[in-house]
Amino acid sequence: MARLSVNIDHIATLREARGNVPYPEPVFAVGIIESAGADGITVHLRGDRRHIQERDLMLLRQVVSTHLTLEIAPNDDVLNIAKKVKPDMVTLVPESSSEKTTTGGLNLLDRPKYIENAVTQLQHSDIVVSAFVEPDPEMIKAAAELGFDFVEINTKSYVEAKNLLDELDQYRQIEKMAAYANKLRLGVNVGHGLSYQNVRNLARLKTIEEFSIGHSIIARAVFIGLYQAVKDMLKIIRNPEP
């Protein structure tokens, strides 16, 4: 059964929008999300600290009882923080100060030795390491060669498909790349832009171990509450057949 890890960055985004208030506290969401049945919590500690702060990460490590995933760029400062906090998984992602959110996958062919060293450091700290990559065979192969434990396949092209035929093509590409990753003994997670409307087909794939979903859940929570928003997503992921 596939897992759901709920990204709570946007709770921190709401807090930081005012700049001078201590609420809402991302850590307060953990108990609600876990009691609704989610399998984990995901946060992204960005270089510009635009939403999640180091303090949040320290608190989350103390409170999360399921599975804590930390997304970071492969830079020394945040690598050192990750090794200190020891989340269950670190997902290495690309990062640009001009982007609203992570959009493309990490290019594993750029500075491969540096990335491999980052993977080794994290694994020596007993942290499982994943790479956020495009559904591209070169990237999947590189992830295996660099020693990653998992890949998180970027679903951006799938969720932004122009029409049904394009969506089917993107779905089949993810399906093929997930199977290829499994063949190379990599675990497979997926994420980026997944919602209640587009996740069902991917949830039918037995090769996917975890769905990382945040914005759509937090947006729905504004109207029906966080507990029910998580429950609704879990219902689709765990029972994808209509």
pLDDT in tens, 119-176: 999 999 999 999 999 999 999 999 999 999 999 999 999 999 999 999 999 999 999 9
pLDDT band at 103 (very low <50, low <70, confident <90, very high): low
Domains located in the chain, CATH noted: 3-238 (3.20.20.70)
Catalytic residue ranges: 44, 71, 192
pTM: 0.94
Query: For residue 41, what pLDDT is reported?
Result: 99
DSSP assignment of the chain equals --EEEEE-HHHHHHHHHHSS---S-GGGHHHHHHHTT--EEEEE--TT-SS--HHHHHHHHHH--S-EEEEE-S-HHHHHHHHHH--SEEEE----TT-SS--SPP-TTSSHHHHHHHHHHHHHTT-EEEEEE-S-HHHHHHHHHTT-SEEEEE-HHHHT-SSHHHHHHHHHHHHHHHHHHHHTT-EEEEESS--TTTSHHHHT-TT--EEEE-HHHHHHHHHH-HHHHHHHHHHHHH----
